[in-house]
Amino acid sequence: MHPNRAFRDVGDARNLAFARQQGFGILTVSTSADEPPLVSHIPFRLNEAGTEAEMHLARPNPIVKALETPRPARLVIQGPHDYISPDWYGATDQVPTWNYVAVHLTGTLALLDADTLHPMLDRLSDTFESRLAPKPAWTSGKMTDGVMERMMRAILPCRLTITGIDGTWKLSQNKPEAVRLAAAEGLAQADGDAALAALMRDPPQG
């Protein structure tokens, strides 16, 4: 997380809402001080309280073996990001930078019983299918008998029990408003990330 508090003055509720909307992140687990962390790119679903993230891993994933006992883990959720040219500020003595949004969820990762997998997958697919309305939602009930069960043998359910929530919303809030808005306009005019430009125009507060 960025050390500048100007970029971190966003409450847990906003950070969790962002993570829930994204629904995809980078799971990292350290196994020893001598080895790099294990990393996996995964979809996930947050519970309503934002205290748990449920997900699944392929059986051959090295993280699965590491979870013979629950382990500390971090789920990194990346949002819009882009290069910011100093020419856009309309102010002197500026330097290039990169603006971005990112949320880190930390906690304890553990494997779950196999009988929790199917309901978890149904909740996960329902979360994202509901965003495609009015398309009729896909459900696992559309699968041919036995096919879903065979496919589920290749994956295992796990849950991150969340104990820490950190977010960085680096949107040029450390600049005067006119300078920040000029940079947002420059980004938009350069066909940069439109979502980032919108956030720069109206950064979240608290």
Is there a domain that residue 203 lies in? no
The mean pLDDT of the chain is: 96
For residue 206, pLDDT beyond 80: no
Whether 206 is in a domain gets the answer no
Asked whether residue 133 is domain-assigned, the answer is yes
Domain range enclosing 141: 5-198
Average pLDDT over every residue of 1-12: 87
- What is the DSSP secondary-structure string of 48-97? TTSSEEEEEEETT-HHHHHTTS-EEEEEEEEEEEEEE-GGGS-SSS---E
In a domain, 205, yes or no: no
The model's pLDDT over 82-128, given as tens digits with 9 standing for 90+, comes to 999 999 999 999 999 999 999 999 999 999 999 999 999 999 999 99
Question: What average pLDDT does range 155-176 have in this prediction?
Answer: 97
Comparing 3-7, 139-143, 191-195, which segment has the lowest mean pLDDT? Answer: 3-7
User: Is 155 domain-assigned?
Assistant: yes
Total number of domains constituting the chain: 1
169 or 205, higher pLDDT: 169
pTM for this entry: 0.93
